[in-house]
Structure 1
Amino acid sequence: MTDLFQATLSMPGLVPVLLVTFAAGLVYGFAGFGAALIYMPLATIWVPPPVAVAGLALSAVSSLVTVVPRAIRQVEPGPTALMIGAALLTAPLGIWVLRTADPLALRWMMSGFVALTLAALMAGWRYSAVPGRAARALVGAATGVVGGATGLTGPVVILFHLGGQGSAAANRANTLVFLTVLSLLLLPQLALQGLLSAPAIGLGLLQLIPYAAGSRLGQAIFDPSRETLYRRSAYVLIAAAVVLGLPKG
């Protein structure tokens, strides 16, 4: 364990990655989404995509004691469980892409997904239909593929929840619980495909503190009456992450 932490502490770019982790947790705490949208484009500047994906998934453990306890009281358990189950079925395909694809191509894919998600959120995209079980299962399955391949478990489900007609509180709770639980359940699947490496474990463990601190602070400053302000602040940070994280090659 000592050797693991020593190797992690000597990792190039560790300090900026930890700062990015804190910012990702902060946005996640007050907006209810956006951690991976900020973390993945920036963290992959310094660490390979597989290490970043596994490290962020491990960091999500802290959300179980920071943001999930409050959110669980407002979550819709049946629909959320259905989406998590569907995502788990398709995640192995996404993780296979993560394991075999060119790292530069993955970084471009990540930046593209984040940019498209941000554009849809800022445009205020909405749908009027009431989603059934099939629609929720499809959204979960799509999230599993995208999340496994890029670590971006948020884009599909964020657009699904925020674009619907449900209450803001329920949408926020559903998204928080879905993203946290799915991230944790991805860990054994990453391990099965050999991507839960020593560098990923070391980075994930070190990220627990800044991620938890950011999430706790973000939740503490969240005020439902100022939700628009928080959401716009999240948009600015996500846009900055897209620009700064664009691959140079």
Structure 2
Amino acid sequence: MLEGLAAALSLPALPWLCAGALVSGAVYGFAGFGAALVFMPISVALVPPAMAVAAFALTALIALVTVVPRAWAATDKPGLGQMLLGTMLGFPLGIWALRVWDGASIRLVVSVVVLATLAVLIAGWRMAPRPRPAARLLVGATTGLIGGATGVTGPVVILFNLGAGAPAQVTRANTLVFLTLCSGLLLGHLWLQGLLSPAAIWLGVVLMLPYALGNWIGQAIFDPAAESLYRRVAYGIIAVAALVGLPIWT
């Protein structure tokens, strides 16, 4: 197991991965979403996609300590459970795609998914009716499919929660808690399919510190009265990360 730690610490890209974890953690802390949207386009350009997905899924679990406790009270528990059930159904197929796709294809898919989600968010998409259980299950399954293949679990659920008509506090809490719990579920599926290597585990542990620091910084500077400003900043960071991750640079 210590060989895995040595492999993680010897990665030439480790400083950049730590920087990406810090920035993505800060975005998550103040915007309520966007950590994987920032981290994954950068990380899949630096390490094998399966390693990046597994490491970040583990890293993101630190949010159970840093951000979830504050958000839990405002969470829609029944709706959360329905979406998580759907996610469990989608993960196996998504992770199978992660195993068989080549790295350049995954990098392209990650960046395209991120940029498309960003465009829809900026356009202010909203969903008229309040969601039903069947819709939540479908959103969860789609999240599992995309998240399993790319490590980016946020796009569908972010759009869904923003368009569901709930108060901003509930929308933020639902997104935070769902994405964090998804990371735990994703780890289990990665292990079942043999993609949770010792090096990926240790990399995830190493990245927890800068990610947690980012979470605390993001929460400290968040002001509910200036939420729109912080979201615009988050959108800009996400856009840069997606462009950097495009497989046209290497």
Q: Report the TM-score when normalising by structure 1.
A: 0.98
Secondary structure of the residue that 2:73 maps to in structure 1? coil
Q: Separation in 1 of the partners of 2:127 and 2:188?
A: 35
Q: Does 1:65 align with 2:65?
A: yes
Q: Does 1:24 align with 2:24?
A: yes
Which residue of the partner structure matches residue 142 of structure 2? 142
Is 1:197 equivalent to 2:197 in the alignment?
yes
8 Å CA contact 2:27, 2:34 repeated in 1: yes
Residue of structure 1 in register with 2:129 after alignment? 129
Moved more, 180-189 or 1-10: 1-10
Deviation at 1:219, TM superposition (A): 1.2
Gaps of 5+ in 2: none
The separation in 2 between residues aligned to 1:151 and 1:96, in whole angstroms, is 12
Q: CA deviation at 1:7?
A: 1.7
Normalized against structure 2, the TM-score is what? Answer: 0.97
Q: Which amino acid aligns with 1:225?
A: A
CA distances 1:105-149 after superposition (whole Å, capped 9, x unpaired): 111000110010000011111121111111111111100100001
Give how far 1:12 is off: 2.0
Matched ranges for 1:11-160 at <5 A: 11-160=11-160
Aligned to 1:243: 243
Cα distance in structure 1, aligned partners of 2:73 and 2:181 = 15
User: Does the 8 Å CA contact 2:37/2:154 hold for their aligned counterparts?
Assistant: yes
Counterpart amino acid of residue 14 in structure 2: L
Judge conservation of contact 2:27–2:218 (CA < 8 Å) in 1.
Answer: yes
Q: Verify: 1:10 aligned to 2:29, yes or no.
A: no
TM-superposed deviation, 1:223: 1.2
Quote how far apart the aligned CAs of 1:164 are: 2.5
Matched, 1:171 2:148: no
Percent identity (aligned): 53
CA displacement 1:170-197 (0-9 Å, x = unmatched): 0000000000001111111101101101
Q: Structure 1 residue 214 and structure 2 residue 194: aligned?
A: no
CA shift for structure 1 position 204 = 0.3
Q: Displacement of 1:245 after TM fit?
A: 1.4
Shift of 1:62: 0.6
Range that drifts further, 238-247 or 149-158: 238-247
Which residue matches 1:230?
Answer: 230
The CA distance in 1 between the partners of 2:87 and 2:74, in whole Å, is: 21
| Deviation, structure 1 residue 4 | 2.4
Find the aligned partners of 2:185 and 2:194 in 1 and give their Cα distance: 15
Structure-2 residue corresponding to 1:188: 188
SS in 2 for 1:73: helix
The Cα shift of 1:3 comes to 2.8
Cα offset for 1:163? Answer: 2.0
- Alignment partner, residue 161 of structure 2: 161
2:5–2:198 Cα contact (<8 Å) kept: no
Q: Supply the distance in 2 between the matched residues of 1:3 and 1:136 (Cα, whole angstroms).
A: 42
Q: Give the letter aligned to residue 82 of structure 2.
A: L
Gaps of 5+ in 1: none
Distance 1:135 1:162 in 2: 14
What is the CA distance between 1:155 and its match in structure 2? 0.2
Aligned-residue CA RMSD in angstroms?
A: 1.0
Mean Cα deviation higher: 172-181 or 101-110 = 101-110
The answer (yes or no) to whether the contact 2:44–2:103 under 8 Å persists in 1 is no
1:149 maps to a residue whose letter is A
How many residues align? The count is 249
Residue type of the alignment partner of 2:200: A
